Structure 1
Amino acid sequence: MLIGEVAHRSGVSTRMLRHYDSLGLVRPTGRTVGGYREYSAEDIRRIFHVEGLRSLGLSLRQIGRALEEPAFAPSTMVGDLIRRTEDRLKREHELLERLRTIDASAPFGWQDVLRVVELLHELNSPSAARRQQAVLVQAEDVPVPVELLAKAVFAESDPNVAGALRWALARAGGDGVASVASGVYSENVDIRRRAVLAIAEMSGDEATAVLTDALGDSDTTVRRHAALTLGKRGETAAVPTLLDMVVVGTNDVEAAEVLGTLSRDPGCADRIMSALVDELAADTADSAMRIRLTQALVEMPGTTAQGVLRQLAHDGDRAVALIASALVGVLEERESGAFRGIDGTER
């Protein structure tokens, strides 16, 4: 078969076939009377072998070695090709992400493109101070692409830089919530924790909805961050998690204060008081837990908390009894102060 027909059937150009011949990679078995290359069936089979190995990323030199050395083991070369391909894909993925970030910033000109490229470079700096400065300076100048900020906050471990990123995202309003919300549902627990902290600094119904979803997270840290924020916003869905924080002693003082704020709603107050009393009476409640629960009662409004504390002042656990007795005095003083004017006279 002549070279033109081989090229037509194999899809390999005549130029490449001549190149294979010059390298000794695929040499035609014969020549016609006129000197034209003539390929046998075995030659054509070798051409397809060469093309198959090329499709794996092997160089022509590597292909020649593979075809000429029967003892040649492909495992090492294939492993090397895998690593090189993975590295190339990683670089291309990073390039694709940069391009998407630039596209999302809707640049009006090349100066805008260069600004985003510079910010990307600064946010990848090993210096936390440079990363923080990059966010603050850019935020004062022109809006930073929220997708870029979100990606950075998901990866940032330095608390100062993370704070600057959250501040910049909060300024973005609804766009900031949308860009960070995906992190709350990530499989990576560190990303979920960072995302919920960022959402906690954002206002609006959308942010509240995302935080409410976070109350069901499998990670206690995510749930607690969400509960503290929601409780301060008056969302009663946070009550069970806040009560659990008091029980286990994690940010229990802050959780008790938030529960006290929620208890200003009479309906919610009864629910919280009942839960606190139930936990105090539980067989699993040790002394330290009962002390925390007793201390939480002082944050509750109304006379119900006073009554429970008066009972606890006679508790069998001396530490609980002493604390309850002292807190009764605090509540009585607080109540009497409510009936006095600024000048201290009775009203």
Structure 2
Amino acid sequence: MTTQKQDTATIRALQGLADPRPSVRLRAALAIGTTPDPRFVDPLVERCAIEPEFYVRDMLTWALTRHPASVTVPELVEEVRSTRAQARSQALHTLSKIGDRRAWPAITRELLSDVDDEVARSAWRAAVLLVPEGEEHELAAVLSTQLGRGERETQRSLSRALVALGGAILPFLHAAMTDLDPRVRAHAIATDKLVRDPETGFESAIEEAKRVVALGVTGQEG
């Protein structure tokens, strides 16, 4: 009888993930996370790839973190190779929440420079959390190639990732301060300021950096 009830609850939860009402999908994800079962992992990962509501995706990620990493990480590593941008982004986001460094090899240069900003941002966050000790320099080299990319929120995300790498990023920032692209120079100067003074807000740092670039100096002068 107990097994039958459990099977019925499982079917109901899985059906709930596909319900057209976001509130039902949210409750289903909450129920699955509350009573983890390896049978839920694949449906959760699949739903992450197509779920349109941010707060439901957040609950799906939480539900996945409630399952053993030995089950979830291989599935998510496979998902980061998906052709669907949301699938890649959400899988990377979930891996960053799980924090299992066995996922590190999946954070490739291609993901760190993905054409989709959300995927790239998720990859940056995951990378700085999962990078093994001693490999920060190589990661900094790759991330520095993204300086100047995108709009303000994308640049803010990259700066946060670079700041998390600490001193490993400084040589690359200094080199980027003389880049031919003024966007790259400004972003490098702003990030350098954030590394040196973490209390500085990104908005003030980037505006100051733009003024420095406009004046034709590198930000290291004076």
For Structure 1 versus Structure 2, the TM-score category normalised by the shorter chain is: 0.7 to 0.9
More deviation, 212-221/224-233:
212-221
Q: Does 1:255 align with 2:124?
A: no
Partners of 1:276 and 1:293 within 8 A in 2: yes
Per the alignment, in what secondary structure is the counterpart of residue 246 of structure 1?
Answer: coil
Deviation track 1:22-49 (CA, whole Å, cap 9, x = no partner) reads xxxxxxxxxxxxxxxxxxxxxxxxxxxx
Residue type of the alignment partner of 1:219: V
Deviation track 1:57-81 (CA, whole Å, cap 9, x = no partner) reads xxxxxxxxxxxxxxxxxxxxxxxxx
Residue type of the alignment partner of 2:178: A
Partners of 2:79 and 2:87 within 8 A in 1: yes
Structure 1 segment 136-285 matched on structure 2, within 5 A:
136-143=30-37, 145-172=40-67, 173-212=69-108, 215=111, 218-221=114-117, 222-235=119-132, 236=136, 237-250=138-151, 251-264=154-167, 268=168, 272-283=169-180, 285=181
Cross-structure match for 1:4: none
Identity %, equivalent residues: 17
TM-score (norm 1): 0.49
Per the alignment, in what secondary structure is the counterpart of residue 131 of structure 1?
Answer: helix
Residues 167, 316 of structure 1: CA spacing in aligned structure 2 closer, same or farther, 3 A cutoff? closer
Q: Distance in 1 between matches of 2:140 and 2:18?
A: 40
The ranges of structure 1 where at least 4 consecutive aligned residues each deviate by more than 4 angstroms after the TM superposition are none
Quote how far apart the aligned CAs of 1:252 are: 2.2
Q: Does 1:293 align with 2:194?
A: no
Residue type of the alignment partner of 1:226: A
Structure ranking higher on relative contact order (CA contacts 8 Å, 6+ apart): 2
Q: Does 1:134 align with 2:28?
A: yes
Cross-structure match for 1:12: none
Quote how far apart the aligned CAs of 1:142 are: 4.8
Quote how far apart the aligned CAs of 1:258 are: 2.9
Cross-structure match for 2:10: 116
Q: Distance in 1 between matches of 2:150 and 2:104?
A: 25
Quote how far apart the aligned CAs of 1:209 are: 2.7
Which ranges in structure 1 are unaligned for 5 or more consecutive residues?
1-107, 303-311, 329-347
Q: Distance in 1 between matches of 2:36 and 2:121?
A: 34
Residues 193, 300 of structure 1: CA spacing in aligned structure 2 closer, same or farther, 3 A cutoff? closer
Deviation track 1:271-321 (CA, whole Å, cap 9, x = no partner) reads x333223322223x12x443222111113459xxxxxxxxx9xx6732x65
Partners of 1:181 and 1:195 within 8 A in 2: yes
Quote how far apart the aligned CAs of 1:165 are: 0.5
Deviation track 1:160-191 (CA, whole Å, cap 9, x = no partner) reads 11110001101212211122222111233332
Quote how far apart the aligned CAs of 1:116 are: 1.7
Residues 194, 261 of structure 1: CA spacing in aligned structure 2 closer, same or farther, 3 A cutoff? closer
Structure 1 segment 309-320 matched on structure 2, within 5 A:
317-318=214-215
TM-score (norm 2): 0.73
Q: Distance in 2 between matches of 1:214 and 1:201?
A: 21
Residue type of the alignment partner of 2:160: E
Which ranges in structure 2 are unaligned for 5 or more consecutive residues?
198-208
Q: Distance in 2 between matches of 1:240 and 1:226?
A: 15
Deviation track 1:177-210 (CA, whole Å, cap 9, x = no partner) reads 1222221112333322222222222121222232
Superposition CA RMSD, Å = 3.3
Partners of 1:189 and 1:219 within 8 A in 2: no
Quote how far apart the aligned CAs of 1:157 are: 1.7
Q: Distance in 1 between matches of 2:77 and 2:174?
A: 37
Deviation track 1:66-122 (CA, whole Å, cap 9, x = no partner) reads xxxxxxxxxxxxxxxxxxxxxxxxxxxxxxxxxxxxxxxxxx822222112111221
Residue type of the alignment partner of 1:296: T
Structure showing greater Rg: 1
